[in-house]
Chain A
Amino acid sequence: MIELNEIDKTYPHPVHPVAALKGITLRIEKGSFSLLMGPSGCGKSTLLNLIGGLDQPTSGDLLLGGRPTRDFSDADWTRLRQTEIGMIFQFFNLLPMLNALENVALPLLLRGDRPEEAKARARTALVSVGLGGRLDHRPSALSGGEMQRVAIARADVVSPQILLADEPTGNLDSENGEEILKLLSSRARAGVTLLLATHSPQAVPYADQVIHLKDGRVDRIDRIDRIDRTGGKR
């Protein structure tokens, strides 16, 4: 479970400090699929970055699985990203000099897994996203949809408890976007807590709740019951 209590995030500036998040209080249940929606600049990415430990809140408390993170060191966050948190980005952010298999195996290798083991798991992860035939392709030889699937496999390969995805379909056509959403929701069904920032209403049918952000605050939360979700389009 992810808990946020009165989270503020202000980016310092000598004249005009920017308040990106203001008093965010949220509970995101374990194994749920939540969407973060709202206009550009409302704080969606900032919120994901805070949960992923890429940035620290100015004030407020963030609890992951009941553990307060206030005193987490950089090394603690690194360890969390190696084992519990996976991240997916709009621009895929694959490393261009590594092939698909290497890109996916990298997080495992970074945390010290044995190369054979890491590669075997990476292969399984890629097969599970339908890229078993693209293992040795470099990012430049993959389509947008394929690259995002590699990115999902890379995030998923560490068996995270939390998956954070920032506009994962923003750079894809609707068909590929749909594929990616299906793939992500399957992770949520497998018990992973999924938090997805998006502009796209295409994602809503897959989610348990939609958190609407506006000017750095939670504007409203729409809960979607499972019948609606499984029923397809609302």
Chain B
Amino acid sequence: MGVLFRWISFRHLFREPRAWLTLIGVALGISVFISIRIANQSVLSAYRHSVDAVAGNTTLEVAGKAGPFDETIITSIREAPGVRSVAPIIHAALPMSSPSSTEGEILFLMGVDLLQEGAFRQYEIGGIAPEKIFTELMEPDAVLLTEPFATRHQIEVGGTISVRAGNRNLSLRVVGLLKGSGLAEAEGGNIAIMDIASAQWRLDKLGKLDRIDLITEEGTPLHQIMKTLAERIGPDFSLRRPEQRSEQVEKMLFAFQLNLTALSAISLFVGIFLIYNTLLVSVVHRRKEIGILRSLGVTRLRIFFLFLFEGILLGTIGGISGVIIGAFLARGILRLVARTVSALYVPIPPSPFSLPPSVFWEGIGIGIIVAALSSLFPAMQAGQLRPREAMEGIYSSQQAPSTIKFLLAAALLGVVSYLLSQVPLRWNLPAAGYLAAGLLLITFSMLVPPALLLFARLIEPLLERLPPSWRLARGHLEQAMRRNGPTIAAFMGALAMMISVVVMIESFRDTVVLWIDQTIKADIIGAPASLLSKESEETLPDGLISEVRRIPGVEAVDGYRSVQVLFREEPALLVGRDLAVHAAHSRYLFRSGDSKEIIERAIREGTVLISEVFANRFGLQEGEHIEIPSPQGKISLEIAGIFYEYSTDGGKMVIDRSLLQRIWKDDRLNVVAIYLEKGSDPGVVRQQLVQRWGAEQGLTFITQVNFKNEILRIFDQTFLVTYALEWIAVVVALLGITNTLFVSILERQREIGILRAIGASRRQVVEVVLIEAFYMGVIGNILSLFCALFLSLLLIFVINKQSFGWTLLYHYPPSVIVHSFLLATLTALLAGYFPARKAARLAVTEAISYE
């Protein structure tokens, strides 16, 4: 076997350009998959690392379900059995206002009790004498910064840094620098440590705490301690291990990351076709060699393994190269992924690039599995060849299945795919949906051979008047169905996935545009500059609302306050807004019922409105009562309506602001929506607002048009990574076509020679190859448009709905047809260019004597 492999497989594999093309394709496919894995893992590990660094030796954390809580509870916790140490914590995400900071940069401020901290976290402080640490840090506004942060912002000990806290500027004095590992590595270094008393004062949390960290006795089982503690603190508090915070983020990002992984698998899927095609062609091409080997006594099984090993060798080398390329690719993708996650979910600290060794083995493993799967069928074909027939080039044992069989298989798979799409979500994993999508692609791949024959038949009469190259290319296309079929299928698959994702994004975008148009009616939106940073706790200046109302031209102002609560042990957003203003000037798009009526009922009866995503996330319906944690214990509210909303990933609950003020005792505001009188110029009013609050208070006022544009800008940015993945899949498919055409040239050397001998010019030979590529592109494109139609329905109404809970309006833009046709044609012609040149340059005498 070794000799066969060394003498035959190796020589074949590495002397033929198509093997190299296949390798590049497989390597690219694997690299995309691996790079997404690396990016996903890096983002999570950055978050986990940060959580670990902040947690230190903490074994349990206590937090209020309704936000900051009364600090007196700490005594009761300290005295609980099994609790060894207790550390009170204040935390806040503060937007930086120093000019040196990058736009939207956040500094995480942590207020700690210095006397308790020793047992909890590792402090390595420089720039200050050890004996002075306590006294210096006790001073108001004194903070410790991390060394990397200070270096990046060129701040020295003794210097100051400006941040926005609540609705004012805060100047923090740096008294020392955190070094080394541990706390200094939390939040990617963007962390400042302050004395808890100063933090409470400066953040308007006097007498309040955000969290209490605990270290428990080692002797007592943790679950026992948790049980007693839970009883002691009551239902308004959550008790969890610090790791659970990472787990929660992992859970939150699961659907997003799974989606990315599925997208990255597209290139892998195309890669499978590449190997399959290369080996299948190899079997056809080397049938004589197989016949000779068989006549020399090589068994069927050995022939089978010979080809299987060739495939696996391709997969292994592709895997190794894929990991190397993937590692480079991952750096770029990591930036995009981290940005999207930070914009949509949680702020991810600058994620260090981590390349776990397991990824290397994963890449090779995927390469081998993919290769083994895709070489199985060609290897079986090779094994089944009968020696005499093989030597004489007779195809009897490897005739392509009939068109009817392909159609039947496609129909069967299509039905199974449809049934799978109807399976409801299980274990939070839209597995059936993904499987249905995979089957749909195979269904359409099965339709390639019948479509190819139909196409060849349909265009025949059209070619009468065209130069002979068109007819010749058509003949080649039909004749080489076995070789062209898988290539067209791969190309079709890549295109279909690309089109369907484009359709999904376009539908999503259209839905968002419609939603914006129907629900964002305010003429000007005012908010702190950090409005779009997640977890920013900046609020608007007190009294702003009444002052704005007095500005000439302003008709009404809707104040908007959002607070984070733990709903059913999961973080959730609760919004209090002036529903009366909202009902009068704007609307919610409710799933059913009239917006005005529902909102007025919510004001009158104190009910809650929830977004569709929130309802899907927790399985809620209109009329149900939900319990929301509040500073006054759980409040039970009836769901008055469920509205479509696309601005948050996890959804939100909305109540009237008066209810929030009454129960949360919170008068602050995050955003104001300003409605102008008819005829007022938004530009003029905005100018006044900016003059009054812009520079001094760091507030931003955006007109309606700009606000809508900003939302769409963020939307488009979010899908950058998706488009990048799509393009790579098309490149891999392009390699597939090039590969097939090269093989085609190789197989048809004699034919090309004859053409030249009977008077065809080089140009005409080039034309024949290019037109064949064009036909392949057209068939792939037509099928892909139909496949994408079904695939996008699946993506929008099954996979997306199950993963994220959004209802999207379906929109298959006609421009997609034109664009995909241009893309398919250009790609196919590009892929055919080099093979065509090779064909034209063939030495005629060699070509004619070629067998």
Residues of A within 8 A of B (CB): 45-46, 49, 52, 54-55, 74-75, 78, 81-82, 86-87, 89, 93-98, 102, 106-107, 109-111, 115, 154-155, 158
Chain B residue, CB-CB nearest to A103 = B758
- Verify B467–A93 contact, CB threshold 8 A: no
A95, A96, A110: the one within 8 Å of B764 (CB)? A110
Check A95/B759 contact, CB under 8 A, given A54-B844, A55-B844, A110-B764: no
B475, B756, B762, B844: the one within 8 Å of A95 (CB)? B475
Check A95/B760 contact, CB under 8 A, given A49-B845, A54-B845, A115-B464: no
Give CA–CA (A154, B750) in the complex, Å.
Answer: 17
Find chain A residues with CB under 8 A from B755 CB: 95, 110
Check A111/B476 contact, CB under 8 A, given A93-B754, A93-B848, A102-B471: no
Give CA–CA (A98, B478) in the complex, Å.
Answer: 11
Give CA–CA (A102, B758) in the complex, Å.
Answer: 13
Chain A residue, CB-CB nearest to B843 = A55
- Verify B759–A75 contact, CB threshold 8 A: no
**B761 in the interface (beta carbon within 8 A):** yes
A55, A78, A115: the one within 8 Å of B759 (CB)? A78
CB contact list, B735-757 vs A, under 8 A: 750-751, 753-757
B467, B475, B753: the one within 8 Å of A97 (CB)? B475
**B393 in the interface (beta carbon within 8 A):** no
Chain B residue, CB-CB nearest to A164 = B757
Residues of B within 8 A of A (CB): 464-465, 467-468, 471-472, 475-476, 478-479, 750-751, 753-762, 764, 843-845, 848
Find chain A residues with CB under 8 A from B753 CB: 93
- Verify A110–B758 contact, CB threshold 8 A: yes
Check A75/B761 contact, CB under 8 A, given A93-B750, A102-B471: yes
A49, A97, A154: the one within 8 Å of B758 (CB)? A154
- Verify A52–B757 contact, CB threshold 8 A: yes
- Verify B848–A74 contact, CB threshold 8 A: no
**How far is the CB of B772 from the nearest CB of chain A, in Å?**
11
Chain B residue, CB-CB nearest to A102 = B471
Find chain B residues with CB under 8 A from A115 CB: 464-465
**How far is the CB of A79 from the nearest CB of chain B, in Å?**
8
- Verify B762–A74 contact, CB threshold 8 A: yes
Find chain B residues with CB under 8 A from A81 CB: 756-759
**How far is the CB of A48 from the nearest CB of chain B, in Å?**
10
Give CA–CA (A205, B38) in the complex, Å.
Answer: 80
- Verify B848–A95 contact, CB threshold 8 A: no
B467, B757, B844: the one within 8 Å of A109 (CB)? B467
- Verify B757–A98 contact, CB threshold 8 A: no
Give CA–CA (A115, B464) in the complex, Å.
Answer: 7
Find chain B residues with CB under 8 A from A74 CB: 761-762
**How far is the CB of A107 from the nearest CB of chain B, in Å?**
5
8 other contacts beyond A54-B757, A78-B759, A94-B754, with CB at 8 A cut-off?
A46-B845, A55-B844, A95-B472, A95-B751, A97-B475, A97-B476, A110-B760, A115-B464
Find chain A residues with CB under 8 A from B843 CB: 55
Give CA–CA (A111, B764) in the complex, Å.
Answer: 10
Find chain B residues with CB under 8 A from A109 CB: 467-468
Give CA–CA (A75, B472) in the complex, Å.
Answer: 21
Give CA–CA (A49, B472) in the complex, Å.
Answer: 24
| Residue of A45, A55, A86, A95 with most partner-chain B CB within 10 A | A95
Give CA–CA (A110, B845) in the complex, Å.
Answer: 20
Check A78/B761 contact, CB under 8 A, given A54-B844, A54-B845, A55-B845: yes
Find chain A residues with CB under 8 A from B750 CB: 93
Find chain B residues with CB under 8 A from A55 CB: 843-845
- Verify A110–B476 contact, CB threshold 8 A: no
Find chain B residues with CB under 8 A from A45 CB: 845
Give CA–CA (A54, B752) in the complex, Å.
Answer: 12
Give CA–CA (A86, B758) in the complex, Å.
Answer: 7
Give CA–CA (A158, B843) in the complex, Å.
Answer: 23
Chain A residue, CB-CB nearest to B764 = A110
- Verify B844–A158 contact, CB threshold 8 A: no
- Verify B468–A110 contact, CB threshold 8 A: yes
Check A111/B757 contact, CB under 8 A, given A54-B845, A97-B475, A98-B475: no
Give CA–CA (A52, B845) in the complex, Å.
Answer: 10
**How far is the CB of B748 from the nearest CB of chain A, in Å?**
10
Give CA–CA (A95, B750) in the complex, Å.
Answer: 10
**How far is the CB of A219 from the nearest CB of chain B, in Å?**
23
Give CA–CA (A95, B764) in the complex, Å.
Answer: 15
Give CA–CA (A82, B759) in the complex, Å.
Answer: 5
| Residue of A54, A89, A98 with most partner-chain B CB within 10 A | A54
Give CA–CA (A82, B478) in the complex, Å.
Answer: 27
Find chain B residues with CB under 8 A from A54 CB: 756-757, 844-845, 848
Find chain A residues with CB under 8 A from B756 CB: 54, 78, 81
Find chain A residues with CB under 8 A from B760 CB: 78, 110
**How far is the CB of B149 from the nearest CB of chain A, in Å?**
66
Give CA–CA (A88, B761) in the complex, Å.
Answer: 18
Chain B residue, CB-CB nearest to A113 = B468
- Verify A107–B478 contact, CB threshold 8 A: no
Find chain A residues with CB under 8 A from B757 CB: 52, 54, 81, 87, 89, 93
Closest 8 CB pairs of A and B: A97-B475, A82-B759, A109-B468, A54-B844, A81-B759, A93-B754, A78-B761, A107-B758
Find chain A residues with CB under 8 A from B759 CB: 78, 81-82, 107, 110-111, 158
Find chain B residues with CB under 8 A from A111 CB: 759
Give CA–CA (A115, B751) in the complex, Å.
Answer: 22
Find chain B residues with CB under 8 A from A86 CB: 758
**How far is the CB of B683 from the nearest CB of chain A, in Å?**
68
**How far is the CB of A211 from the nearest CB of chain B, in Å?**
20
What are 12 A-B contacts with C-beta separation under 8 Å?
A49-B845, A54-B756, A54-B844, A54-B848, A75-B761, A78-B761, A95-B475, A96-B479, A97-B475, A98-B472, A102-B471, A115-B464
Find chain B residues with CB under 8 A from A94 CB: 754
**How far is the CB of B811 from the nearest CB of chain A, in Å?**
43
- Verify A97–B845 contact, CB threshold 8 A: no
Give CA–CA (A171, B471) in the complex, Å.
Answer: 29
Find chain B residues with CB under 8 A from A158 CB: 759
Give CA–CA (A94, B218) in the complex, Å.
Answer: 88
